[in-house]
Homo-oligomer: A and B are copies of this chain.
């Protein structure tokens, strides 16, 4: 099994979830209200009340095959708006 961590702006959450569903992930977990810094932007807590929104951290546990599909689906959004995606190994307890 693989573990995928995505971090991106909350405002793209619906689009990313849709992309994950189309890739037929078995499930996902979302944590909102994350902040951070990337190569392009700084996201601070008070962004949440301006229109910009904070970040979302999404975790997906899935089989390796699904990753390819996810990549195809989420890359446009991440490239356009920023955000990161990293994969680690994981096995079910």
Q: Which residues of A contact B (CB under 8 A)?
A: 1, 3-5, 7, 26-39, 45, 55, 57, 59, 61, 67, 70-71, 74, 84-93
Contact = CB atoms under 8 A, between A and B. Distances in A.
Contact of A89 (B26, B34, B36, B89): B89
B84 A4 contact: no
Given A61-B84, A93-B67, A31 B33 contact: yes
Copy tally for this chain in the complex stands at 3
A64 B54 CA distance: 28
Given A29-B55, A36-B27, A90 B86 contact: yes
A91 B84 contact: no
A37 B86 CA distance: 20
Contact of A93 (B36, B45, B57, B87): B87
B57 A39 contact: no
